[in-house]
Amino acid sequence: MSKKDGKYLTTGEFAKLCKVNKQTLFYYEQIGLLKPVMKNKNRYRFYTVHQLEYFFVIDLLKDLGMSLNDIQQYTQNKSPERFLELMYKKKEEIVKKRQEIEAKEKMIEAKIALMEEASNLGFNEITLEQLPEATLYLSRKIENITDEKYVEVISDFIEELSESHLDSGYPIGTITEREQVLKGEFSNYSYLYIEQPTPKEGHPYFKAVKGDFLIGYHVGDENTIGTTYQRLFSEMERLDLALGDHVFEEYVYDSVVKNDTEHYVTKIMIQVNKK
């Protein structure tokens, strides 16, 4: 039989159409995954155009993370029903991956926006701003707990963010209640939180009430944050304002972008009311 009747492709021609080298086809033949339709008396291998689709499906399944061994197991017991089941399964996996990629894209967009905003901030300034209502996902309460329990709560919170896909790309912040702030216990936080611009159903959320906030920035680690709070309290007094129910803290610059804690920047948002 002559290849030149146009119905057959040599190994080189078939490999070129599949965008692989000939060794790949030799290996597929060796493991019984894709065999040439014929070999002539000189042992030359020939394929048909119809095998291209078969190769492309193998390539697709490989791209979707399926091992050659699993593909081979499927090919040993092929049927329309099994193929349809396989395609539905792979479609579900792609949808899930796409959702995960879209979530990561939103996280990156949030981090870009926050970092670009930070580059225009004056860290020595104190401003009085009206903030909109924000939806926050909270940790368990961490106020007055032991160091061991604190680590456990943080661990659980991070795990929840990962498993429930609640990491929005916004910084993990802290909430300190009025009583602790009045005592000067600025690091005796009540909760960890992360903002949720697009809240998911089925999760408990805390609504940060919109209103007036006195906002300042602390440069350095938490051991010296009291000096920044005193500056904020002085400004509150000057503006004739009273401390509200909550204080929110978020890192602007942390270990992600700074090597030394003395260069970390913490945003402090104090809820205030008019006296």
Answer yes or no: same fold for 8-78 and 121-274: no
Tokens standing for residue 186: 């600025």
Give every strand in the sheet of 191-195, ordered side by side. 127-131, 211-219, 265-274, 241-253, 173-177, 191-195, 134-138, 206-208
**Which of the following CATH numbers is that of domain 121-274: 1.10.287.3510, 3.60.9.10, 3.40.50.2000, 3.20.80.10?**
3.20.80.10
Q: For residue 50, what are the contacts with CB-CB under 8 A and spacing of at least 6? A: none
Q: For residue 233, what are the contacts with CB-CB under 8 A and spacing of at least 6? A: none
Q: Encode pLDDT of 62-108 as tens digits.
A: 998 899 999 988 888 889 999 999 999 999 999 999 989 998 999 99
How do beta strands 211-219 and 127-131 pair? antiparallel
Provide block-wise average pLDDT over 10 residues at a time, the chain (275 residues): 66 95 95 91 90 93 91 88 92 92 92 93 94 94 92 94 91 95 94 93 86 96 94 96 96 92 95 92
Q: Where are the domains of the chain?
A: 8-78, 121-274
The DSSP line for 111-142 is HHHHHHHHTT--TT--EEEEEPPEEEEE-S--
Q: Residue 194 in contact with residue 168, Cβ under 8 Å? A: yes
Q: Which fold has domain 8-78?
A: Multidrug-efflux Transporter Regulator; Chain: A; Domain 2 (1.10.1660)
